[in-house]
Amino acid sequence: MAEKLFKALHLPRKAPGETNRQRDLNNLPESDEMVFRGKGDFLSIGTASEIDSLLAVSGRIGADPMLVQAATGNTSIKLDDVLWIKASGKWLAHANREEILVPVSLTETIRRVETNTDPAGQTAIVAGKTLGTSVETAMHAVIPHRVVLHVHSVNAIAWAVRSDGEAHLRERLQGLVWKWIPYLPSGLPLASAIRTAVKAQPEIQVFILANHGIVICGDTPLGTEALLREVETRIAIAPRTVPEPAWDDLNAIAERIGWRVPANPAVHALGMDPICRKMLAGGTLYPCQAIFLAPRVPMVSQFVSPSDAAEIDSAYVLVENRGTLLRQRQNPVEGLTLAGLAQVVLRLPEDAPIAYLAQKDVNDLLCADVYHYRERVEDNGADRLPFHNQPSGEPTVELR
């Protein structure tokens, strides 16, 4: 995979009389793009092996919907002053069959952070395609560890949306070096908080990001994945059991209003379980809920009319005490995000104090760039659903 994916670095153009040579990434001016040609002639065997290891880890965690939903999450490795990081909109689950990593200068990326310039969106041409770096590029760069895994763990989010989450995690994460980071937007604000934390305590290996997810750091891809699995075991929460959805009623309602009935039972918990409905009625729990679904959850009775249903501006609707319906159009990103949301709220007890996102934070999420990002995610996920035999032991995500 490394031989196919990672090519020699060359100068896009050369000065008169200059011989072809490998270009030092640190000397690339801001306006230059990195261009990759050849078959990895300048990559050492060790470097290629580490990249392959990161890709294998990325593929495994990306195929586990308890850790990653659609294109959420990102991974990186720092090698010889090059930061290899997941491209924006790419799916970790596709790591073993398509190009998902973008190489950028680590020195240049950190320089941008220090000058308050967001390094997200740096581009490289890989196998003839222009890929841009993740919105989390700044965060990955300022963490001193070589390997960084950032995932939207269902269990981590179930703690991270609680105002008492940090206190509960102290006992569960005892013995690990970890830090709770209050909610901040992705990009420079979050990276700044992470940087402040690691300056005070460089050995931190686990970050719980409020209303967001989890970051695990280490020296090798396999070792970092092992730490992620250990943390997941420690913070695991058993979901509530809920009644089966009212299949016959849902099918009748769906036929009447022109929507469809998803087959995944977990998704129907949102409509069947009064605690889930209460949690969702209170506000937005985390960014992906607002970006890929809707800031507010639409709820209707079983008597909803076709005209009222046509006014619903959402990918899904909760039918009180009956289940959940999805729009007719197929969208795997929305389906996976909805399944993840269901798993989160099923792990929130009724008396849990919830720290919803502030309305300003939700408004800031719904900008023009977000819609472009959604398009990239949906394009990269079309007809490529990678989920099977999940490492977490949870049932396979079913979107149909």
What are the per-10-residue average pLDDT scores of the chain (400 residues)?
A: 42 33 36 37 69 97 95 95 94 93 96 96 87 95 98 98 98 98 97 98 98 98 98 98 94 96 92 95 94 87 94 92 89 89 97 97 79 61 43 34
Per CATH, the number for 2-235 is 3.40.225.10
Q: Return residue ranges of the chain for CATH 3.40.225.10.
A: 2-235
Count the alpha carbons within 13 Å of 306 in the hemisphere toward its beta carbon.
5
What distance in Å separates the CA atoms of residue 220 and residue 223, rounded to the nearest whole number?
A: 5
Q: How confident is the model over 319-373, as pLDDT tens digits?
A: 999 999 998 876 788 889 999 999 999 999 999 999 999 999 999 988 746 656 5
Q: What is the pLDDT of residue 315?
A: 86
**Residue 70: both structure tokens together:** 């659609």
Q: pTM to 2 decimals?
A: 0.85
Q: Is 178 helix (H, G, I), strand (E, B) or coil?
A: strand
Q: How confident is the model over 19-54, as pLDDT tens digits?
A: 322 333 334 434 334 443 333 434 666 678 899 999
Do the beta carbons of residue 162 and residue 348 sit within 8 Å? Answer: yes
Distances (CA, A) of 294 to 290, 299, 322, 382: 5, 12, 20, 21
Do the beta carbons of residue 119 and residue 111 sit within 8 Å? Answer: no
Burial grade of 349 (CB within 10 A; 0-12, 13-18, 19 or more): exposed
Strand partners, 317: 325
Query: Shortest CA distance to 127 belongs to which of 11, 34, 23, 43?
Result: 34
Please report, to the nearest 10 degrees, the dihedral formed by the alpha carbons of residues 6, 11, 12, 15 taken in order: -170
Query: Shortest CA distance to 90 belongs to which of 78, 76, 80, 104?
Result: 76
